[in-house]
Amino acid sequence: MGIFKCLQPYVQRCFNEYSLVLLSLSLGLVCSLASYAEPIENFRWSIDGSARINNNIASDNTSRIFALGLDTHKVFTSKSGDIGYMVGQLYFTKLSNQTPFPWMFDDKDDSTLVVREAHVNYTAGPAGMPNIRLGHFTLPFGLENNLDTNGRLLDYNHGKNLGAKVDWGIGLNDVLDTFQYSVSYTLGGKDEPKSINGSYAVTGRVGSLSYHDFVFGVSLYHAEMDGVKRKRVAIDWQYYWHTWGLLGEAALGKDTKQQQWRNEQYYLLEVNKRSVDEQLKLYTQYIVTNRSGDKKNNQLVNIGLSYQFNGQLELSMSSRKQLITPESGKKQHLVRAQLRYRF
């Protein structure tokens, strides 16, 4: 960490000055890769639409979120094999009476274009060298590194724990014989491809191979974002037995705002069950957050299900309830439902 502190101002200054070049490099890499293959070959795309209703029982408020977007995936190949891939996800998102509203919106009824993922991953480097990812991608930390929850009700509190779920930057990754890893340096601008007031994020995870029945990983995080400095170390695990799954994540760290550090602990445990045909998934999550200075810790239970009618239509429902009455005097109780169609 001492070496990082010495190099961080220089790296951050380079990213501040050349953040727009990052986009140009992404585009240039895509164009250069595309020259090896037909434009439509190994290209998949879908239109993805969803309607979500949220009933916040504690605040007696009902809101809705509508999203319609384009989800694309392109594999680039040469005569010797695959050399990389591109992911692009752009969604028009509309809020209706959403309080509180996400930071990228201006008010509770706002609408905007949201970039979920937009990156290229170059995989044809020399033997022993890692793959290179460039663009807007999910921070490689904890359970979310292997379990993509974009656009779903199911969530692993990635954004709340780290301050962001996706960010613009560069990363190195690889899958080896016995383990896999992913590390990244990102700008801390979230949806904006630039560093804001010195923001940055260094993230990394090393774990066992993700296709095994038992998966274990260790993650590190060091960042400054939205005026808050964060440090995290975490372990995560997944165990699957027939149609049952047991997942968990435990994170320890510190947050600081206005030069005052505050210890934080975060734990998540999930039990899930899938039907044999994998159309139905049921899950229960128990989540605990404990911050120094708070009189009580925060305990939540989240129960949910998803049903895949076919390859295009999915219905999801969840109920999240706070177990301990907070200092505000009202327990959180949020009931949500979402209908999603891909074609």
In the predicted model, is pLDDT for residue 208 greater than 80?
Answer: yes
305-314 pLDDT tens trace: 999 999 899 9
Backbone angles phi, psi at 5, to 5 degrees: -65, -35
Provide the residue count of the chain: 343
Using alpha carbons, list the distances in angstroms from residue 173 to 139, 183, 188, 272, 297.
Answer: 12, 6, 20, 29, 36
215-229 pLDDT tens trace: 999 999 999 998 899
DSSP 130: P
**pLDDT reported for residue 4:** 46
CATH class of 2-342: mainly beta
Amino acid letter, 230: R
3-state secondary structure of 171: strand
Q: Which residue has the higher pLDDT, 30 or 196?
A: 196
pLDDT classification of 9: cutoffs 50, 70, 90 = low
Name beta bridge partners: 288. 267, 299
Q: Cα(150)–Cα(93) distance, rounded to whole angstroms? A: 13
Cβ-proximal residues to 25 (8 Å cutoff; 6+ apart), any chain: 134
Q: Cα(173)–Cα(191) distance, rounded to whole angstroms? A: 22
**pLDDT reported for residue 337:** 98
Average pLDDT across the chain, whole number: 87
- What share of the chain in percent tops pLDDT 70? 87
12-65 pLDDT tens trace: 554 454 454 455 455 455 545 544 545 567 889 999 999 999 999 988 899 999
Q: Cα(89)–Cα(73) distance, rounded to whole angstroms? A: 9
**pLDDT reported for residue 20:** 45
The answer to whether 61 and 335 have CB atoms below 8 angstroms apart is no
Cα 28 off chain centre by: 25
Residue in the structure block whose two tokens are 């201006």: 106
CA Rg value for the chain: 21
**pLDDT reported for residue 216:** 97
